[in-house]
Amino acid sequence: MMDNRAFYSCYRGFELSSKHFSKGRRCTKTSKWEGFYEPFCKRITCGYPGTVKNGYSIGNQYFYSDKISYKCFDGFSMIGGSTIICKEDGKWFPAKPKCVGVQCSLPKIRNGKIEIISEAAEDSLGVNRVDSDTQIRVKCFSNSTLKGENPVATCLEDGTWDNPNISCKFTASSQSNCPLHLILVAPENGYLDENSLNAMKNGTADFVEYKCRSGYSQVGVNISTCIVDGYWTEPNITCHAITCPSPPLFLNMVFKSKEPHKLTYQCQKGYKLVGNAVIQCTTLGRWSRLQGKCTWLPCGKPAISAGAKVTGNSYLYGDSLTITCPNGKSFKITCEKSRSWSENSGNNC
């Protein structure tokens, strides 16, 4: 009570029913407290966390300390932790996991290009990989012919193509003498592959290939082909620095060290690590899956004097027990980080 105002304080995980009284409740001149309804402390809610594509959730309580678990449908793998918890700031922690299905790498088509004609997933991981059931069509350049009869291939559920040998065969009779000095320069952070250049010079190929330097990923078509009118086709390649999103946070873990493409975690005080706590930024631009977790450090059942009684049944780090001696005297012991109970000199029975 201060300056005719009453101030309210809620326990952890609870908040006032009305933010209007967050700065106190005033006593009016009529000797009545302002407000028609009496304020109370309500449990903090995080709201519905949403679904995970290609997966489902377990749990329907969205208040402080409630947990929601996720599982992936058959044929999909989980990236991230399977359980999130509603925290006192009204947000779920950590971020929801992702369920990723089998994908196929786009084939490299020399003397032609690839056109995606159907795609089953809306959020494929990048232009160099597509989800299962995606169909592509190969279109050959004018100086080449399709090898086989079917220009269409479908990504299968095992990560392979149903038409794996689809390609464009170079037609030697249509070869033109494209000047080597007109070969287009490599993109930024990329280079011209020497092997493809030598093959072009000795007449065993009609294209040159571009590649990205270490630490960069290729996006687009990386081949320039000599076509019938003596010109080089424009390669549609860019080299993007391989980066991953903001470092993920994991339950009961903190960062131990951060490197450009590697993160190492350690457990918070009172926890021990089970498994590996290192993740790396992959060539797909996402963090690898964490292969470890942090568990509580138990102290075990305390040794007490004969006839003494123990009040409390949790032996985890930070928990306390009350010891009551036969003569009625009592004292508390606490589970410490060393996984032993605190010393209580002079308080023993």
Residue 63: its pLDDT value, please? 94
Cβ neighbours of residue 45 closer than 8 Å, sequence gap 6 or more:
62, 63, 64, 86, 90
175 occurs within a structural domain = no
Per-residue pLDDT in tens (0 to 9) along the chain, 349 residues: 446 788 888 898 898 887 777 777 878 777 777 777 788 889 999 999 998 888 999 999 999 999 999 999 887 888 888 999 999 999 999 999 988 777 888 888 887 888 888 654 444 434 577 877 888 999 887 767 888 889 999 998 888 999 988 988 877 544 457 888 889 899 999 999 998 888 787 777 788 999 998 778 888 889 998 886 778 888 889 998 888 888 889 988 999 999 878 899 999 887 888 889 999 888 777 888 898 888 887 888 888 888 888 898 888 878 889 989 888 888 888 888 777 888 754 456 7
Instruction: Note whether 317 and 334 are same-domain residues.
Output: yes
Where does residue 36 rank: exposed (0-12), middle (13-18), buried (19+ CB within 10 A)? Answer: exposed
The answer to whether the predicted template modeling score (pTM) of the entire model surpasses 0.85 is no
Asked whether residue 34 falls in the same domain as residue 77, the answer is: no
For position 272, which CATH number holds?
2.10.70.10
303 inside domain: no
CA dihedral defined by 131, 83, 258, 271, rounded to 10 degrees?
Answer: -150
Q: Does residue 111 share a domain with residue 91? A: no
**Residue 164 sits in which domain range?**
103-170
DSSP state of 120: S
* Whether residue 264 is found in the same domain as residue 316: no
301 lies in a domain? no
Q: Are residues 110 and 78 in the same domain?
A: no
Q: Is residue 61 part of a domain?
A: yes
CA neighbor of 136 nearest in space, from 157, 118, 113, 124 = 118
Asked whether residue 258 is assigned to any structural domain, the reply reads yes
Same domain, 190 and 235: yes
| Helix residue spans in 116-252 (DSSP H) | 194-201
Provide the Cα torsion 181, 182, 188, 194; round to 10°.
Answer: -50
The pairing of strands 291-296 and 278-280 is unpaired
Q: Residue 270: name the closest of 253, 290, 249, 257 by CA.
A: 253
Residue 142 in domain: yes
Tell me the residue type at 165.
N
Q: What DSSP designation does 172 have? A: G
Q: How far apart are CA 338 and CA 341, in angstroms?
A: 8
Residue 13, both tokens? 């995980």
* DSSP reduced 3-state for 19: helix
The answer to whether residue 332 sits within a structural domain is yes
Alpha-carbon distances of 17 from 8, 20, 43, 51, rounded to whole Å = 11, 9, 9, 28
Domain count, the chain: 6
User: Does the residue 304 lie in any domain?
Assistant: no
